[in-house]
Structure 1
């Protein structure tokens, strides 16, 4: 289906490594609330007679010491020749700074009706990840301990970018779909861009002073029939504080492009070690 797939990306990154204890040199993700306005990329020739527009609101709070809370609201509207359809994906996650625990609640609405929901917690302990689901079913299962949670994924990409690495490969679990799905990811990191100063773009008072990298993450569905083709690709400009500016979501048959339209940097307790 078209609409549910619109919400299935780890912005996570969702915007990737085996979890390690906190140590010097680990990147810091700024607490912030960002708004991205999205529209279909007509230059790619996708979308047919339909039009797609949307808005993504992403709030990240916390630190590596107290853990990271990420709240996401991703609303898209498809308009065609007969009717319009609104998809509203809402999620809240909490992830321990050391990757030992990940709590997730996700609700997906189609035209204001709840279409699907996941609720659960994943715990990394004794060389394995144990997932306890309460929605859509009561279930417990295990995952490989090397699988990363979403904030770990972002941290790993930032570490790689800072050290000059160009490719990052890892499996990621974000609790999406039925709560059982994992994705294999391949991240390509472009050349470092030095701080550009104030160019009149949203957030330049902070982002203009920071280095950034163009990043593309390909997500491969481990349950798909053809595992060699990515389910989708997520491209973005990644700044050294973990904030993204321009984003591109490529689903193969259509592409959404989004610009940072508003950003607020939020106060957070410093991480004292």
Structure 2
């Protein structure tokens, strides 16, 4: 299952001191801290999942030439016999605002034992790039031209929504698997929505938003009758905040509802 968590890595920021200029739309992304409650939406009939509950904390910090992100995720799943499994993960990224460099680290723990570690660094240019893994084993892969990193993918998806597009197809490297990039299909539903009053989170009222569904496929399996390995539906605001999401892990689907939001002040670089 594709559980992702992001850890603070501001100490790596000097790596990007000579980075190229930010991509268009980078200035729209806001540093923030958001807390989510996770609950079971529904379970497939054959899965036998009766309950799922947990929490997620997601943070984005502006490291001037880069974004430092952290997501902490804990989920307890209960089956029809009353057995429970607790999974948590901690996933960190440092992504340059020019979309050319990504550092990532993921640790996943199940029932107190480490079950997965992924870490490494990737670089990308218009001609392609490479990713070098240090965990779980040293390995290197080439990246096809057009491969996106997580924040740049969010920016491109929001730009597509504002432009009235329905689809965004792109390979995505997020560092959550040692298998390298995954093909993604982003479907934008309902079009771009104008700013409106927001009683729960007034800080989001000045921003438009769009709903989208992102499906992740193994390379070469995208489209047709292929079933995605993971799928997430979100409501993304123009500043990069997602306040609602559904995470489809195959056997069951989890709701993520934002409970708290704190926007960081801009500037300081």
TM-score, length of structure 2 as denominator length = 0.84
Residues 125, 158 of structure 1: alpha-carbon distance in 2 compared, 3 angstrom cutoff: closer
Work out the number of aligned pairs and report it. 253
Residues 111, 9 of structure 1: alpha-carbon distance in 2 compared, 3 angstrom cutoff: closer
Do the aligned residues in 2 keep the contact of 1:37 with 1:56 (CA within 8 Å)? yes
Q: Deviations over 1:93-146 (max 9, x none)?
A: 000101111000110001121111011111225823122221111222212132
Q: Deviations over 1:27-69 (max 9, x none)?
A: 5111001111111114876752431112111101116x51111
CA distance in 2, matches of 1:217, 1:23: 21
Do the aligned residues in 2 keep the contact of 1:40 with 1:47 (CA within 8 Å)? no
Gaps in structure 1 of 5+ consecutive residues: 11-19
CA distance in 1, matches of 2:43, 2:134: 43
Deviation, 1:230, is 1.3
Do the aligned residues in 2 keep the contact of 1:46 with 1:255 (CA within 8 Å)? no
Q: State the superposition RMSD in angstroms.
A: 2.7
Partner of 2:12 in structure 1? none
Do the aligned residues in 2 keep the contact of 1:101 with 1:123 (CA within 8 Å)? yes
Do the aligned residues in 1 keep the contact of 2:88 with 2:109 (CA within 8 Å)? yes
* Structure 1 consecutive aligned stretches of length 4 or more whose deviation exceeds 4 Å: 23-27, 43-47, 223-227
Do the aligned residues in 1 keep the contact of 2:31 with 2:60 (CA within 8 Å)? yes
Residues 74, 227 of structure 1: alpha-carbon distance in 2 compared, 3 angstrom cutoff: farther
Correspondent of 2:3 among 4, 7, 12: 7
Residue 206 (structure 2) pairs with residue 205 (structure 1):
no
Deviation, 1:222, is 2.0
Residues 212, 220 of structure 1: alpha-carbon distance in 2 compared, 3 angstrom cutoff: same
Partner of 1:173 in structure 2? 173
CA distance in 1, matches of 2:198, 2:45: 34
Secondary structure of 1:192 counterpart: strand
CA distance in 1, matches of 2:250, 2:66: 34
Do the aligned residues in 1 keep the contact of 2:32 with 2:60 (CA within 8 Å)? yes
Matches of residues 207-222 of structure 1 in structure 2 within 5 Å?
207-222=204-219
Secondary structure of 1:145 counterpart: coil
Partner of 1:262 in structure 2? 260
Secondary structure of 2:250 counterpart: coil
Do the aligned residues in 2 keep the contact of 1:50 with 1:79 (CA within 8 Å)? yes
Do the aligned residues in 1 keep the contact of 2:5 with 2:72 (CA within 8 Å)? no
Deviation, 1:147, is 0.7
